[in-house]
Amino acid sequence: MEKASPTVLIVEDDAEIRSLVADLLGREGFIVREAANAVAMDELLARMRPDLLVLDIMLPGEDGLSICRRIRAANNIPILMLTAKGDVIDRVVGLEMGADDYLVKPFGPRELLARVRALLRRASAVSAPMSSTMRRFAFDRFVIDLDARLLVDAEGIPLALTSAEFDLLACFVGRPRRVLTRDQILDWVHGRAAEPFDRTVDVLISRMRKKFDAASPGSNLISTIRNGGYLFTALVRQVP
């Protein structure tokens, strides 16, 4: 059976931008749904579950940051936030709310498609069939399955991670007890799609620390190295 095309929900109040993005994604084979505000978005979400949400920050009524936080609390739909040029604070807060990536307006069609496809690739790995040679690693009180894109604690309870958070953790697990610079981490997580001096890494690190601390208090698995970057302190071992 042929696999259905991914569905992208665009939440953008600017009709011209919304139409341009919808036309571009539609021409590339995506199923596109559109909403001008949170109310229209909620009506659509009650009937369908998109594979990706393209979410503008500046919306009438409930803004994009509030929507992002609400959506993230309920599920792990990949979220690509649209931000105005120069609004660094909004981009950082958006990542803190749980967004997986952001795109600064004005943006080119190639960059939009690259971001959308990258997020969908990460998300699709979650539902991929398990193989007999799965890469599973244990550290502290956790086990990570890189192929199933799953992190569980000592009781086997899954920890909810966004795509970007999982990619960050995979980067650390593959390079334990080694200092990694922000640029190296950005290469892994975003493929250098981010801007120089980008704070994406810092925000993701902060989010992961909070999740680790909640599940394993005092573990201190990620250390900040002054003028160096970050160090994953855990002893990592491969497990069946």
- 3-state SS assignment for residue 105: strand
Listed in order, the ranges of the chain carrying CATH 3.40.50.2300 are: 7-126
The DSSP element (H or E) to which 57 belongs, if any, is none
pLDDT tens across 95-122, in order?
A: 778 888 888 888 899 999 998 998 888 7
CB atoms within 10 A of CB 103: 20
Residue 28 contacts residue 16 (beta carbons within 8 Å): no
Measure the CA–CA gap between 29 and 226, rounded to whole angstroms: 46
The first and second tokens of residue 114, run together, are: 């690259």
- 3-state SS assignment for residue 149: coil
Report helix angle 38-45 to 64-74, nearest 10: 20
Measure the CA–CA gap between 148 and 136, rounded to whole angstroms: 9
Asked if pLDDT for residue 67 goes beyond 70, the answer is yes
DSSP, res 126: G
The DSSP element (H or E) to which 188 belongs, if any, is helix 182-190
Provide the CA 26 distance to its chain's centre, in angstroms: 23
The first and second tokens of residue 135, run together, are: 């890469």
> How much is the mean pLDDT over the chain?
84
What pairing do the DSSP bridges indicate for beta strands 31-35 and 237-239? unpaired
pLDDT of res. 116 = 92
Listed in order, the ranges of the chain carrying CATH 1.10.10.10 are: 130-239
- The CA radius of gyration of the chain, in Å to the nearest whole number, is 18
Asked if pLDDT for residue 134 goes beyond 70, the answer is no
pTM listed for this prediction: 0.62
Measure the CA–CA gap between 128 and 152, rounded to whole angstroms: 18
pLDDT tens across 10-48, in order?
A: 999 999 999 999 999 999 999 999 999 999 999 999 898
Q: In what order do the strands lie in the sheet with 142-145?
A: 150-152, 142-145, 136-139, 237-239
DSSP, res 226: T
What's the CATH fold of domain 7-126?
Rossmann fold (3.40.50)
pLDDT of res. 85 = 62
Place of tokens 């981490």: 185
CB atoms within 10 A of CB 123: 20
Asked if pLDDT for residue 52 goes beyond 90, the answer is yes
Is the peptide bond between 106 and the residue preceding it cis, with omega within 30 degrees of 0?
yes
What's the CATH fold of domain 130-239?
Arc Repressor Mutant, subunit A (1.10.10)
- 3-state SS assignment for residue 38: helix
